[in-house]
Amino acid sequence: MHTLTLEQLRATTDAGGIVGVTLKALGGAFFVQVETRNGDAAVLAKARSSEPRSFGNPGQALNLLLGLGLVVGAFDVALWNPEDRSASRTRPDRAEALKRTHGAAEHDKWFREQVQQGLAEADDPNTQWVSHEEAQSSWAAKRAELAKRIKEGGS
């Protein structure tokens, strides 16, 4: 039995090439099996893989099939074992990824607020501007003071 990616299944469905769909249980997981017009049987595969895509919850598989327009099919639950949790996916790395995503979103929000504040200050007619020469002179004085403190061994 060969596999079909979701894109291939969608294209085959759109072309009218699917004659049967079975939601097949194996252990604690469900798989989508299709029969094509040319008599081939195929299983829905994971994205970018030839490994069969499993669903721990048959409702997720049914929603996917409904979205494809495959509304009539069969169930094969002869090998279903709801106690079998080996098919359930655990992704401990997802918690860390979500933390990084939220952190990035918070930083992005802060950064955008800073940009808005800077633009508002730039547009304010009461903003006092510092010339390039004044800024260079000020920083040169600060560097000289720091170098003097370091030379004297102070902090």
pLDDT tens per residue, range 102-125: 999 999 999 999 999 999 999 999
Residue 24 CA, distance from chain mean position: 28
* pLDDT band for position 90 (cuts 50, 70, 90): low
Question: Cα–Cα distance between 24 and 44 in angstroms, integer?
Answer: 11
User: Hey, what domains does the chain have and what are their CATH numbers?
Assistant: 2-80 (3.30.720.210)
* pLDDT band for position 47 (cuts 50, 70, 90): confident
- Radius of gyration from C-alpha coordinates of the chain: 31
Question: Cα–Cα distance between 88 and 151 in angstroms, integer?
Answer: 65
Q: Would you call 5 helix, strand, or coil by DSSP? A: coil
- pTM score, two decimals? 0.55
- Best CA proximity match to 4, nearest among 153, 130, 17: 17
